[in-house]
Structure 1
Amino acid sequence: MDFRLVRRLGAFLAVAEEGHFGRAAARLGISQPPLTAQIQALERELGVRLLERTGKGARPTREGEALLPLARRVAGDAAELEALARELRAGRSAPVAIACVTSALFDYLPPLVRVMQAARPEAAVSVREMDTAPAMEALRRGEADLALLRADHEIAPIRLRPLGEDRLMAALPVGHAMLDGPDPLPLALLAEAPMLVLPRAISPAYSDAMTAACRAAGFAPVAVREVGSAMAQLGFVAAGFGVALVSEGMATLNPPGVEFRVLAGPVRGVGVALAWNAERESEAVRLALRIAEDVFPRGGA
């Protein structure tokens, strides 16, 4: 990372946010001439004008406005890098990054993290909520050390350790006619209901399990729309746009406006697995696998 570029981006951000060269210089603890020089150097390097002076101060140009979001992201990444370097210089262990699907936030994530933190109190644990496919990519790119996701087969270099089984449940808006029907609910009764589904690219195993369950019940789901996340499914259900087949872990969220029904059968879903990149296996991964053997024994729920 070019830290000269990062410093220049910081100067640009300070002026853009303060709207004034003098206030930006005071915020950065430097005088105004070197601040101006940094921004001019950045403009030469990028080949665009970033700021324009006004009667009351300064504001980003059109090009500057377009570059602001990326400039903030780069500056934020640099700050995170420096913070991690300070932690490592102080002798602390590198933080453990975990990606986690929404439906595993309450039953699988807490016991795993609690035991990990007890075993390695010197190491921080960070968690990012994301769907299965992005979590897989985060593992491949080294942006996550571990992931709690829903998958039923390995794709090298990603390895899986199943933690438990799952079943699908019907998520229905409050007041839906099916709530007065049989309980457990036969899946075939939802044959004509508009279905809110996740794109297969987000969670392939879930999508395949949902489609297979509907076909086994004698129908193809009538998809009213694809939504971007499991939480969005519940939000659209609550708004009355349709029904959804979701992991039983989502029922623990107890969102307002949504009622859950067990499906007759029961209808099998895709269990949560602990995933890691075999090409980046670390001591944190090995620790998590040992914990999983104790907390989530083979064949457990």
Structure 2
Amino acid sequence: MSSFMSSLSSQNRSRAARITFPSAVIQQKWPDFQALCERVFKEGAAYEDVRQALRKEDSGDPLVAYILSIVLSYHHFFTFHDVLPHGLNEREGFGYCTWAFIRGAMTLARIEGRSFEMPVVGVSERKNTGRVLLAERQAHPHMADGAAVHGTDQIYLAEAASLSANRDEKRHADLFKLKRDMKDSWISQMREIITTTLPPSRLTVFGSASYRHETSFFAMDFAGVFRLCQIGAMIIPTKQANFANSMRSCVTACLDFVLMMSEQLNERQACKTITYKERLELEEACDALPTTSSTPVKEIKKRKAHKQGPRDQVICRA
């Protein structure tokens, strides 16, 4: 527990830790969603059944177009295999499968998505603050596998591993990186917002981490301390059999997620203009936020080779 949380009474600590989520639901935003799912995602239906069912639907309907885009992303793989082939690299697995679910949902919610090697603006700002760029080399930012952008703000960041990843170290490293990047993005966006307007009462940034077939969705805000909460998850379909059940679950999870992002954007757009005096006060508060520390570096200790000869030498690995 942080020193801030420890200083609070039990009642106030409970209030500080409470996280509320937007009230919008899929059925309110897209009233035809449930009926479409019942027609297209029959219980236990295989990939080809879903594809054939979509042919009977109006391709001009945005919901149908979203589902169809996912089915088409899988089409090449399922032409040759009953399951997604083993050994797809990170870009193939994330780009054609996982990202198809997420970006399609963002498009429906009118949120622009970008993918692959996206520089994280907040990290760049944090690393280069205080540097004399005329005399010092600019530090490189982290790169995100996916992002949602609104103007200059990266309101959502994605980290992904390959679908065949098998190292827990990769999973933990991606989560660690994502959380730090979300914090840097929150600070960056808060500093940008307060130049002209009062920030929303619960400024939030979003993220996701994909490891193998599972994706976890996160939200981060600030209430005296930075608070990170997992707000959803999905496991993408990997085989033609029973494709409908898995796909429906993923589509629902992604639509729920983007509705939260959409409501956050609405809150930001409704912010009131502030005076210069208020801006100075808010900037002073931002300066008091804890700065993200430098990325820890894993030490590699070399063992000395035995005197007996080259056969006894040890190969050092990270």
TM-score (structure 2 length as normaliser): 0.20
TM-score between the two structures when normalised by the length of structure 1? 0.21
